[in-house]
Amino acid sequence: MQKLVIANRGSKEQGKTSSIREVFNFLAAKYPTNVYINYGDIMATIQIGDVLVGLESQGDPSSRIFDSLKKFVELGCDVIVCACRSYGDTTDTV
């Protein structure tokens, strides 16, 4: 399977976290959540059949997005859904 990254990109206070939280809530209601960390934001993996999806709602330059992306790659996520800013380190990393 080809790997896929879906980046919800935008400047601060545009609803990126809220959008990813909605995606998480929708998927978690139907599929088992393997990892869930909530500090007001979401970092999770969800198994959908043979597909492992990683979700990260923190996308600020000083957030855990950098560690989460590395972790999702280590876990072998097929799809990563994450937030990132419009430009800069977070966009370059994604």
pLDDT tens digits along 25-57: 899 889 877 666 666 688 899 999 999 999 998
- Give the amino acid at 18: S
Rounded to whole angstroms, how far apart are CA atoms 9 and 57?
A: 11
pLDDT at position 91, please?
A: 65
The structure tokens listed for 82 are 């994450």
66 vs 47 pLDDT, higher one: 47
Using an 8 Å Cβ cutoff, are 20 and 11 in contact? no
Using an 8 Å Cβ cutoff, are 56 and 20 in contact? yes
pLDDT classification of 81: cutoffs 50, 70, 90: very high
Rounded to whole angstroms, how far apart are CA atoms 44 and 28?
A: 10
- pTM of the predicted model as reported, rounded to 2 decimal places: 0.83
Query: What average pLDDT does the structure give for the chain?
Result: 82
Cα–Cα distances in Å, from 10 out to 6, 27, 62, 90? 13, 23, 15, 11
